[in-house]
Structure 1
Amino acid sequence: MTDAALPTAQPSLRAAVEARLKKRHAEEMRFRLYGRLAIVVALSFLAVLVGRIVVQGYSTFVDYKMTVPVYIDPARVDRADVAGANFDLMIADQTLARLGEKDDEYGTTSGKLMELISNDLGFQVLKQVRDNPDLIGKTITVSGPVKADGQLYFKGELKRSTPQDERKLDNQQLAWLDKLKAQGAVKSEFNTGFFTRSDSTEPEQAGVLGAVVGSAMMLLITAALAIPIGVLAATYLEEFAPKGRFSDLIEVNINNLAAVPSIVYGLLGLAVFINWLGVPRSSPLVGGLVLALMALPTVIIATRSALKAVPPSIREAALGVGASKTQTVFHHVLPLAMPGVMTGSILSLAHALGETAPLLMIGMVSFVPGVPEGFTGAATVLPVQVFIWENASERAFHERTAAAILVLLTFMIIMNLAAILLRRRFERRW
């Protein structure tokens, strides 16, 4: 009787409960709305960032190449001193003739045309004639990129509508470019040179091969040092070290080291590895050592978390059948924790791949025109290459900066994707 009478006896209580439920449901809906709005804002910023990089850098992957026949004039080439011939001027004069133009007595016209032709063509002619002097007196065909400013014109970044005194190329030079393209001497193609060349002072000849190789060599040293040391240190601290104030102090310091600014590791590397141990500056070896120190705390923390995730019953079962403590850890616990260990290690290496500040401190900002010759030779890496190109005065380097960022982001996405796939493939749910 009391239960049946409650709804009618206490209408105010029912109204209060319904009001509270309505208020709580409204709060939950607002919270979900705020969460979705936050996700939309975050994805919008990400889309703007990546979109801006893509818009600025995609043109790098389009290359405009000039193909010209060159007559090796015996009157202008000395067989005893092939390198003394001015092949750039020879190419410019012959190209002028094909354009129906004549050089003036001061060489001004040919000089203006040389501003459109990459000196790579001259180097190609020199190399072929040096290797085979019998080419003197014959015609050979060479192909190379158009100069950076000409590339910008073809890509629409240097416009004819801009007043002549505000652009690097005058109207005559733009007319030559149009005529060369109409004659079929200039064609567009995918810029494979961006991936097969190293850094250069000429934007049209600059590529990321040296930086990619340097990054790979540096990451190899980082992985070889940070992963074994980090995994063994984490295993000892989690499974063997006696619990007490000393182990707590070590754990606190490891967590603090993971939060130390990366430039501090660069200062440490400069003081210890370069000034004290004499490791060659700007080499993959010193870069790998510095990044190994930086990645070590992350590997230790990730490994300890993976070991903690293994159920105690695994340890108890192994000990129950007579396994020693060491056998239990290395034959049962650590293999089961390996997916988490691999994930943490890959993510730490991906983080190290994008670091710039510590590498600047150890001198990896130097200009390296080729592929690193060894672990102790001079090298550059992708983040530093981005830094160098962005600070270059040539406008054409800026699009290459964005393209190098896209290459770096691709490597980082691949490494993060590999970490996710490894975790999903080998992860066990207890």
Structure 2
Amino acid sequence: MPIEIKMPALSPTMEEGKLAKWLVKEGDTVSSGDIMAEIETDKATMEFEAVDEGTVGKILVAEGSEGVKVGTVIAMLAVEDEDISSVESAPAPSAPKQEAPKAAEEAKTAAPAPAAAKASAAPAASKEGRVLASPLARRLADAKGIDLDAVSGSGPKGRIVKADVEAAQAGASKPKAAAAAAPAGEAATAPTVEMADETRALLDARVPHSVEKLSSMRKTIARRLTQSKQEAPHIYLSVEIVLDKLIALRGEINEMLGKRGIKVSVNDMLVKALAMALVEVPECNVTFAGNELIKYGRADISVAVSIPGGLITPIVPDANGKTFSQIAQATKDLGARAKEGKLKPEEFTGGTASISNMGMMGITQFSAVINPPQSTILAIGAGEKRPWVMADGSLGVATVMNATGSFDHRAVDGADGARLMAAFKAYVENPLSMVA
């Protein structure tokens, strides 16, 4: 009997998703663990692996289909010695919200010939075998105009990863890139997506423009941040912190860890400081739940990571109980896998508080939006050399950064937020207290 392949729930909040790309075709044999498709959830683009062995008998949901409900049958798998023809005649699932209007529109407006060539070339290329590549590698290839068929993969099973794309020459431009470069005037004024009335009303035909459809991730970011600002009354508290002792300790730690190939960043140490401050001031390590207040017994820190197309917050669990080196290893691994779309749902869903560091981008001060349902987020600015009055009253030069805490005032009183900021400042300015 054929096996139904259903749209998976790749995160606890996922109700529907976009079937971004099939990495198999009908007739392909798959084994448990083989990557079958890329699915765009409300959090990220993630890979969907086969659980069973068999032959892909019928693909029921086309790639690019949006609004595919969790549990919808998206493909049928024929097991060994099974007649594939019976699989092909299997009834299709209840129609998910697919992009039929968009496909019809593209058929009508076949103006850019190169784009049409790309659409017809994709299936032809797939007949010779699927191209195994990570989501990040595919996005980079699109941006650089590199044909993945011409790239050799260095990953498992010959899979193309980020490093392979970066090392490749952009000699063979993809048809998509050629289409974008050719009729610049037309592309700028002729939207290629089906627009909502609200979007159409905002267009100014006098200004060259393009229209892009929002990804599931961008829609979720917009919805959650709007929810945060509308529902959670934000209170902002800022402190200036001298970093010199922390920077000196970091240098000593990295000298010792060099043989192990571990490098601790300033942000890793700030994650530890925030976690310890939250344990010291548990009134800020909470979630407002309407009629109840949830208080957490440890600090799981969500670290904001920028990825192509949006933002994700992988979690360092029990950060207050981890050493600097353990946090460094965790953040390095989580950050790399976040950018490749390989995080598991439990690795970016939850957390008790967040930290967002834009200091590496030269931003000296900003206020972050609370990451619901959390009640606390810390915004970190760049460290700067400034004239400073030293502890003995003399005038000197110190490396000073600004840190601003955003708190949900429904759950956190201003005095408790101030205590957290003071505790955070004390840990950063006396970093040995975090290892004592």
Q: Which has the larger radius of gyration?
A: 1
**Larger relative contact order (Cα-Cα within 8 Å, sequence gap ≥ 6):** 1
TM-score, length-scaled by structure 2: 0.23
